[in-house]
Structure 1
């Protein structure tokens, strides 16, 4: 049985949640010979994820035809009709790395139309996905105002919480942390990380009495640019083994470290998950 990993932030647009999700999922796909499913479920979350892998020149024609009868909308219909099986899911995805990483297109419906109908099918859909995929990684957006976000957090096996070095964001989150998901396995990321800030990972852990590791992921303009042009996989493939003196080493090492932490927290750090691939 696989695990669901939900990426979430208490604030919108400040912590690099989606970028971190794209980076770590892709690197897991490159480094490990296991089955991964990536999902930006609602319409408002799908664009950034899909543009990271689909080049602009291919976002017409065949891609649009593919999207019309695929993605989460198709799986929802099958789930509602009780016809979805674990082996069928990959037929409705876009393979990004053969036999390793599949992208499930987000909904073509507006969020307000999509979310209400998902309440009854979310759990059976994710449960079915976990029977085929080792990890299902989902972008849950930000804040707690959406019932959809709350449902994703409640159904997650592991919640990856994206924070930053903003004092106001940190204090507000750690004061209200119990509201997120008490008892859930959690990892903390410091997105857009600046190592020259006084709010280092160690200082934040000390100040707010965080007793689990915090994983800093620095801002990286090169990866951001690549992700906007459909080149996320190419960028990470080229840079995943760069030497220590390379300009991209710190970013890549940070993503590697987070990927390993996710595997360990999900309880998948064993041979059955699939060793490092070539």
Structure 2
């Protein structure tokens, strides 16, 4: 199951944080194995949020980001004809008792080369990722580059991350309506007391209430993200919430996970049905 996290604005809606939270809860809940990756380099991306500083420095010191632990490594080897499933196991970093895997991106990124290689091996890459995990979570770039467009097209579900800025929300609904059929919405750092809340978004843009969830702002989560201890925070909060704030956050996060799982299954079934109908149509056209 391929699930893309995307936003039409950069650095405002908590795309990476939201994706980590959802994927971690699915993993902790025993719902399925997960793998996380990104198609863009960020100075403060998945690596910094998932891995503590000493682990990151160790990988950098020995050059293993590029030589072994990276999506670039996997793509180059796939292009050479190597086994995809084996490559994923070799190049990913196990987390949460090895039920979650993270495939980092090299610090040395040539954007043009990355886009070209991704386009060439995308089928093999997606097949390998889905073979090794139940849920493939992909953090995509806001500017809709080639690889982002491919991922959004191939994904079973697109999780659009919004903020509570009316202009940003309007920009999404004005310019990205083509994504609507397989989209759910998360409002990051959600503050229900703000006048432009979920009720207003649903009313203004006719969004079904079961397709949008607000993930509340949480100071402890923000601090854990900065320190690279977000998985420890989520693990602790999931099994034994220490206060009402944690309990409320986990409750909303569970709502988001249920929404994403339900919609992703429905979208995948529709995608398979459409593909089957096309195949039947091609057979009859040949006859």
Structure 2 length-normalised TM: 0.84
Give the number of the structure whose residues are more often helix, by fraction: 2
- Counterpart in the other structure of 2:186: 189
How many Å separate the matches in 2 of 1:254 and 1:125? Answer: 32
How many Å separate the matches in 2 of 1:172 and 1:163? Answer: 11
- Secondary structure of residue in 2 paired with 1:257: helix
What is the Cα deviation at residue 56 of structure 1?
Answer: 1.1
What is the Cα deviation at residue 241 of structure 1?
Answer: 4.1
- Secondary structure of residue in 2 paired with 1:189: strand
What is the Cα deviation at residue 22 of structure 1?
Answer: 1.2
- Counterpart in the other structure of 2:135: 135
What is the Cα deviation at residue 202 of structure 1?
Answer: 2.0
**Does the 8 Å contact 1:107/1:114 carry over to 2?**
no
Say if 1:210 and 1:58 are closer, same or farther in 2 by CA, change over 3 A. Answer: same
**Does the 8 Å contact 2:36/2:138 carry over to 1?**
yes
How many Å separate the matches in 1 of 2:118 and 2:42? Answer: 15
Tell me, yes or no, if structure 1 residue 21 matches structure 2 residue 19: yes
Greater relative contact order (Cα < 8 A, sep 6+): 1
- Counterpart in the other structure of 2:248: 250
- Counterpart in the other structure of 1:56: 53
**Does the 8 Å contact 1:94/1:104 carry over to 2?**
yes
- Secondary structure of residue in 2 paired with 1:38: strand
Tell me, yes or no, if structure 1 residue 95 matches structure 2 residue 103: no
Structure 1 length-normalised TM: 0.86
Query: Structure 2 unaligned runs (5+)?
Result: 267-287
What is the Cα deviation at residue 203 of structure 1?
Answer: 2.1
- Counterpart in the other structure of 2:121: 121
What is the Cα deviation at residue 243 of structure 1?
Answer: 5.7
- Secondary structure of residue in 1 paired with 2:123: helix
Instruction: Count how many residue pairs are aligned between Structure 1 and Structure 2.
Output: 262
Query: Structure 1 unaligned runs (5+)?
Result: 269-278
Tell me, yes or no, if structure 1 residue 171 matches structure 2 residue 170: yes
What is the Cα deviation at residue 213 of structure 1?
Answer: 2.1
Residues 108-129 of structure 1 show CA distances to partners (whole Å, capped at 9, x for unaligned) of 3323442232211123201221
**Does the 8 Å contact 2:39/2:141 carry over to 1?**
no
**Does the 8 Å contact 2:25/2:234 carry over to 1?**
yes
RMSD of Structure 2 on Structure 1 (CA):
2.1
- Counterpart in the other structure of 1:151: 150
